[in-house]
């Protein structure tokens, strides 16, 4: 078992990236290294590289997130990339979506401890909140699933002309090529690979950006969303 004492000192890049909320970023790193490991949310071997591989790698995603939009972090887990994104972008309204109770408990504790008033924690799977969660401008994800499956969960949560930003690895281009048919059925208009974090992380963080048209999720999901919305209104009237 590891603890927060094994967490390396924050690199100078972290001070520049997190700015005024750098102390909160340090506190989050300490929570991940201690409670995060003890609760099985992050592996002990990840602690020495928490800053470069996790916090900074996620924070630089902010470079491609538009200003003042709503964001849903699907399969948020220990809060990556949602929490680092929230720390560098107070202009965003972020929902951390996670199905497992022990993880949502941790996320809620982190949000309260760090005073992240613009962040909401929701327990559930993407397919379960469809029609009840307000559609968002941007969906984020990291290490959740292959692109075709991830898009099936994340794209239907988007507003028309919204985008999904998924942190991926070296196989990002291959994933896009392999998921073209699935993406087309989901109403995706464009998919590309972006590299972010120049001067902050090495190697650069790889992001798959998926842009949807006027029907996120396609025809099938439009019907599901409409049905879920009707069910929700009926329950509220009772």
233 is annotated as contributing to ligand binding:
no
pTM tops 0.85: yes
Buried b (16+ CB within 10 A) or exposed e, 156-174: bbbbeebbbbbbbeeebee
* pLDDT the model gives residue 227: 62
127 is annotated as contributing to ligand binding:
yes
pLDDT tens-place string over residues 177-235: 999 999 999 999 999 999 999 999 999 999 999 999 998 887 656 656 556 556 555 55
Give whole-number Cα distances, 144 to 175, 218, 237, in Å: 13, 22, 36
Structural domain spans, the chain: 10-234
* pLDDT the model gives residue 218: 75
Q: Cis check for the bond before 224: say yes or no (omega within 30 of 0).
A: no
80 is annotated as contributing to ligand binding:
yes
Segment 24-45 mean pLDDT: 96
Cβ atoms 65, 92 nearer than 8 A: yes
pLDDT tens-place string over residues 99-126: 999 999 999 999 999 999 999 999 999 9
Query: Is 10-234 CATH 3.40.50.880?
Result: no
Segment 138-158 mean pLDDT: 93
């Amino acid at each position: 078992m590891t603890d927060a004492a094994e967490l390396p000192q924050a690199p100078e890049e972290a001070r520049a990236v997190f700015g005024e909320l750098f102390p909160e970023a340090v506190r989050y790193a300490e929570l991940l290294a201690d409670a995060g490991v003890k609760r099985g949310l992050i592996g002990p071997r990840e602690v020495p590289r928490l800053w470069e591989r996790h916090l900074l790698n996620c924070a630089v995603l902010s470079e491609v997130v538009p200003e003042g939009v709503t964001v849903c972090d699907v399969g948020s887990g220990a809060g990556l990339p949602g929490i680092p994104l929230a720390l560098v972008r107070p202009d965003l309204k972020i929902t951390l979506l996670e199905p497992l109770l022990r993880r949502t408990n941790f996320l809620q504790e982190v949000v309260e401890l760090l005073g992240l008033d613009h962040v909401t924690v929701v327990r559930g799977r993407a397919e379960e909140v469809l029609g009840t969660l307000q559609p968002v401008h941007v969906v984020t994800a990291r290490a959740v699933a292959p692109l075709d499956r991830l898009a099936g969960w994340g794209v239907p949560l988007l507003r028309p002309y919204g985008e999904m930003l998924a942190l991926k690895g070296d196989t990002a281009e291959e994933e896009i090529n392999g998921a073209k048919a699935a993406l087309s059925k989901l109403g995706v208009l464009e998919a590309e690979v972006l590299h972010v974090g120049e001067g902050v992380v090495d190697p650069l963080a790889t992001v798959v950006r998926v842009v949807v048209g006027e029907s996120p999720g396609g025809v099938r999901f439009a019907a599901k969303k409409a049905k879920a919305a009707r069910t929700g209104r009926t329950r509220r009237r009772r």
